[in-house]
Amino acid sequence: MTMIKLAAVRKAYGRTTALDGLDLEVAEGEFLCLLGPSGAGKTTTLKTVAGLERPDAGTVEIGGKDMRGVEPYDRGVAMCFESYALYPHKSAYDNLASPLRSPRHRLPPAEARRRIGEVAELLGIQGLLDRPVGELSNGQRQRVALGRVLVRPARAFLLDEPLSHLDAKLRQQMRAELKAIGSVRRTTTLYVTHDSVEALALGDRIGVIRDGRIVQTGTREDIWYRPHDTEVARAFGRPRINLLAGTVEDGVFRSPDGAVRLPVAAPARGPAQIGIRPRDLTLGGGPGHALSGSVYVTEVLGRSVEVTVRLGAAQVAVVAPREKAAGLRPDDPVRLSVRPENLLLFEADGPQRPGRRIGAR
């Protein structure tokens, strides 16, 4: 069953269009991550679902019911704002308890204490409950803000970049805990982020939003192996995907200087781009099609090394085991290999839009 559905939703602020015919569905019990850059329409999407913004056109449904005319407090959703929205003069406990003291969501005191204790333990803030929020760090405040959402019984959670102010170690820990929450509660969740690693780690599915429209939705495998276009491909993976411009003719991709020649299965002809993820290139040769180049620079990444290789006028990033890249110096000749199944073929980028993926994988 579809729990949250937005159909052809449009929202403008004066001459600025925030949502431009947006379509999105979140299934019951699903954890969907909405990924996009600043200004893409992510927060406006959440506010429109929550009823804090009224769409200029289109429909919003929750649980199969049209939300037209339904006030935010009657929608059964709980939203966590990136800006915390806490009471700074109150204790962390009182902030967590505030949703449970409202007339619409009031719980018996014993039940409220139990829920607050569970959420505080989950978020690691048990020792902060008696402290005023104004005395807490940004990271601690963000956990309190997230806890205030999770403590409340709700049909759906709307989370607006809830981990953005945490340090890297705590963010990784919290990602694991959020996945545990989802697996236990199975509460429908629409989670907004600009971090592709977060989206891949958390989402049952991922929605990519750009300029107020959904570009692609799918599982992490769909997004990774079958990106809709070059911009989606660039958004996922660190280091970023290598995109080389050239032409396709007679089933062969050629870079302008001929340094890169790779067979492709798609029947396309004319300008195109080849996409190769850095971890899909093998340094030193191996199965697949061989490419010859020279080392431009190396960067140690713990047990692996990122090697930037010149292929004629083009450059590609390769992630190789440290033992394979040991001793490489700038201008050293190297051979790379890539399997045909690891190639992605795209149209050439246009002046107003990224190149779309050609063929299926």
* Residues 244-268: tens digit of each pLDDT: 999 999 899 999 999 999 999 877 7
Question: pLDDT tier at 304 (50, 70, 90 boundaries)?
Answer: very high
Burial of residue 206, with CB atoms counted within 10 A of its CB: 0-12 exposed, 13-18 middle, 19 or more buried: buried
Over residues 52-98, the pLDDT tens digits come to 999 999 999 999 999 999 999 899 999 888 777 888 889 999 999 99
Average pLDDT, the chain: 91
Residue 141 near residue 102, CB atoms below 8 Å: no
Q: Give whole-number Cα distances, 100 to 88, 130, 335, in Å.
A: 18, 17, 63
CATH number at 2-230: 3.40.50.300
Find where tokens 């990033």 sit. 317
pLDDT per position as a tens digit, 118-155: 889 888 899 999 999 989 988 888 889 888 888 888 88
The confidence score (pLDDT) of residue 22 equals: 98
Greatest CA span in the chain, whole angstroms? 74
Architecture of domain 239-347 in this structure: Beta Barrel (2.40)
What pTM did the predictor assign? 0.89
What pLDDT is recorded for position 267?
A: 75
- State both tokens at 179: 């996945």
Cα–Cα dist 337/326, whole Å? 18
pLDDT for 309-347, tens place per residue?
999 999 999 999 999 898 899 999 999 999 989 999 999
- Model confidence band, residue 225 (pLDDT cutoffs 50, 70, 90): very high
Stretch(es) of the chain classified as CATH 2.40.50.140: 239-347
Res. 204: pLDDT tops 90: yes
Q: Residue type for 36, please?
A: G
In the chain, ranges of CATH 3.40.50.300 domains: 2-230
Contact 157, 76 (CB under 8 A): no
Residue 298 is predicted with a pLDDT of 95
Q: How many CA atoms lie within 13 A of 262 on its CB side?
A: 30
Q: Which pLDDT band holds residue 1 (cuts at 50, 70, 90)?
A: low
Supply the pLDDT for residue 300.
92
The predicted pLDDT at position 54 comes to 96
